[in-house]
Amino acid sequence: MTAIAGKHLTLEEYFKYDDRTDSQYELVAGELVAIQPESPKNVQISLFLLVNFLKFVPVNRLSNKVEIIVAGSRATIRILDLVVLTDELATILEGATRSTITLDMPPPALVVEVVSPGKAHEDRDYRYKRSEYAARGIAEYWIVDPQMNRITVLILADGFYEETRFAGNAAIASTIVPELQLTAEQVFKAEESNADDAIS
């Protein structure tokens, strides 16, 4: 993540911003922050989770790289790695020209973030997004951390997240997708399992 010096934008300016590159940006407290490309491992993990969620969640309720405006004194927009929409939110976003969840829309049901290496990324996913997503009313938030080989599932209760950590062969428990049968080990070995499936 790299902040662009001197670039403090309103929501409207952010939506119109175009530097004529393929770069992606989040808006954090009005500041334009460049998002670095994901590592191949993180991409594989996101795709593995997407494929497994699709077994139980209709395709129109699943998406990646959706933007969400979160509460704050200055405008903040996060780009979500993977999101499960509610039926109501999926209906609202149908036919939209931009995949942006605005403050007047209901929150998504579940958000997954895959942590990139480095303290700045850890702080973003474990600290800042945790408080932002709780304030936004997102019922379930997964922090998938390949560096720690651990998945933290946060369930919203009375405005705050209660966390459970899953590692190894422990089955991940989700209130939003209770049918999901995955372990942390399966998620972090996503590349190997995909390769094995292709060979067999």
Type of residue found at 32:
L
Question: Residues 88-100: pLDDT tens digits?
Answer: 999 999 988 999 9
- Mention every residue, 6+ apart, whose C-beta is less than 8 A from residue 74: 8, 29, 30, 31
Question: Edge-to-edge, what's the strand order for the sheet holding 140-145?
Answer: 62-63, 82-84, 110-114, 140-145, 150-157, 160-166
> Cα dihedral sign for 135, 140, 144, 148?
positive
pLDDT-above-70 percentage for the chain: 90
pLDDT tens for each residue of 15-37: 888 888 888 888 998 888 888 88
- Interval 174-197: pLDDT, tens: 999 999 999 999 999 986 654 444
pLDDT at 195: 44
